[in-house]
Amino acid sequence: MATTVSPRDVREKKFTTRGLLWSGDWYRADEVDEFLDQVAATLELVGADNIRLTRRLKLRERNES
């Protein structure tokens, strides 16, 4: 399972460049792919937590009615 990342990790992530492509840098595809896997894993966890918490809240609201 991929490790999760924080918003700070996303903002501060730097990829290794492999030279210039006209006016831009080339990035190592394996590093970018690994980072995107981590971002995807984090989003999946957040989404699952959101679903779980929404269900708990709805159950609690029903029980309090």
Averages of pLDDT over runs of 10 residues in the chain (65 residues) are 78 76 71 88 91 96 91
The contacts of residue 6 (CB under 8 Å, 6+ apart) are: none
Rounded to whole angstroms, the Cα distance separating 59 from 6 reads 30
Is 53 a domain residue?
yes
Buried b (16+ CB within 10 A) or exposed e, 24-56: eeeeeeeeeeebeebbeebeeeeeeeeeeeeee
Give domain status of residue 22, yes or no: yes
- Tell me whether residue 36 is in a domain: yes
Q: Quick check: is 2 in a domain?
A: no
Question: Is the pTM here over 0.95, yes or no?
Answer: no
**pLDDT in the model for residue 17:** 73
**Domains identified in the chain, total number:** 1
Given this model, what pLDDT does residue 63 score? 93
Residue ranges making up the domain that contains 25: 7-64
Within a domain: 1: no
